[in-house]
Amino acid sequence: MLGDGSLRDLIALGRELGMEPLVEVHTTPELERALGAGARIIGVNNRDLKTLEVHTKTSYELIDRIPDDCIAVSESGLHSHAELLKLRAAGYDAFLIGTRLMLSPDPGAALATLLGTHPEVDHLP
């Protein structure tokens, strides 16, 4: 969406304001552009923005290309504690979870389930 110069400028502006920008990518070329622009926090969005389909394979395909000195964030379509553990083992440092919590009648319990800390993990949706 942004040209390389604009992306570099926005990353620099975020840092000037005391924030470290999260740069979202979906593909290898987007990841290469983000890294070339100096991004230190990379969000891999598992949602195809054209079809809105979600595939966590995107996170697995890109993780090996994210340098260790960057924070890797897997985004979208994360539904279970086991899934988070697999992505963490693959190399992800953080997760962006929205819909799963927003659609839950009890977001706190849903979060506890995702984190594996809910006493009745097997009994929650």
Give the homologous superfamily in CATH for domain 4-118: Aldolase class I (3.20.20.70)
Q: What is the pLDDT of residues 19-65, one digit of tens each?
A: 999 999 999 999 999 999 999 999 999 998 889 899 999 999 999 99
For the record, the structure tokens of 42 come out as: 């990379």
pLDDT for residue 14 is more than 90 = yes
Q: What is the pLDDT of residue 97?
A: 92
Stated pTM of the model: 0.88
CB 70 within 8 A of CB 37: no
Q: What is the pLDDT of residue 118?
A: 66
Angle between helices 81-90 and 107-115 (to 10 degrees): 50
Domain boundaries, the chain: 4-118
